[in-house]
Structure 1
Amino acid sequence: MTTIAYRDGVLASDSRAYSGDKTPIGSKQKIHRLADGTLLGVSTASIGGDALVRRWVEAGCPAARNDDLKPDSFTALMVRANGDVFYANNNLEWTGPLDVPFIAAGSGEHYALGAMAMGASAERAVEVACELDVWSAHPIRTLRLEG
Structure 2
Amino acid sequence: MTTIAYKGGVIAYDSRQTRSGAIVSDDVPKCQVVDGVSFFLSGAVCDEKALIAAYFGTPSPVAVECSGYVVDGGKLMMVGHDDKTGIWRQDLDPSNPDAIGSGAPYALAAMDMGASAEDAVRAAMKRDIYTGGKVRTLIIDEGMADAKTNPAAITA
User: Is this a same-fold pair by TM over 0.5?
Assistant: yes
The aligned residue for residue 66 of structure 2 is 74
Structure 1 outlier segments of 4+, above 4 Å: none
**C-alpha displacement at 1:8, in angstroms?**
1.9
Which secondary structure does the structure 2 equivalent of 1:137 belong to?
coil
Which secondary structure does the structure 2 equivalent of 1:134 belong to?
coil
The aligned residue for residue 56 of structure 1 is 54
**C-alpha displacement at 1:75, in angstroms?**
2.1
Residue identity in the other structure for 2:43: T
- Aligned-CA RMSD value: 2.1
Q: 1:11, 1:31 within 8 Å by CA — same for their partners in 2?
A: no
Q: 2:105 aligns with which of 91, 104, 110?
A: 110
Residue identity in the other structure for 2:92: L
C-alpha distance 118-81 of structure 1, shift in aligned 2 (>3 A)? farther
Q: 2:16, 2:132 within 8 Å by CA — same for their partners in 1?
A: yes
Q: 1:39, 1:143 within 8 Å by CA — same for their partners in 2?
A: no
**C-alpha displacement at 1:89, in angstroms?**
4.8
What is the aligned residue count? 136
TM-score, structure 2 as length reference: 0.75
Q: 2:77 aligns with which of 83, 86, 99?
A: 86
**C-alpha displacement at 1:85, in angstroms?**
2.7
Please list the CA deviations of residues 84-115 of structure 1 after superposition, one character each: whole Å capped at 9, or x if unmatched: 332235532112x2324211100000111111
Residue identity in the other structure for 2:113: M
Which secondary structure does the structure 2 equivalent of 1:78 belong to?
strand
The aligned residue for residue 32 of structure 1 is 32
Query: Aligned partners of 2:124, 2:30: CA distance in 1, in Å?
Result: 15
- Which is strand-richer, 1 or 2? 2
Q: 1:12, 1:140 within 8 Å by CA — same for their partners in 2?
A: yes
The aligned residue for residue 41 of structure 1 is 40
Residue identity in the other structure for 2:61: D
**C-alpha displacement at 1:120, in angstroms?**
1.2
Query: Aligned partners of 1:128, 1:98: CA distance in 2, in Å?
Result: 23
Structure 1 spans left out of the alignment, 5+ residues: none
Higher relative contact order (CA 8 A, sep 6+): 1
TM-score, structure 1 as length reference: 0.79
C-alpha distance 110-89 of structure 1, shift in aligned 2 (>3 A)? farther
Please list the CA deviations of residues 98-139 of structure 1 after superposition, one character each: whole Å capped at 9, or x if unmatched: 324211100000111111111211111111101111111121
**C-alpha displacement at 1:11, in angstroms?**
1.3
Residue identity in the other structure for 1:108: G
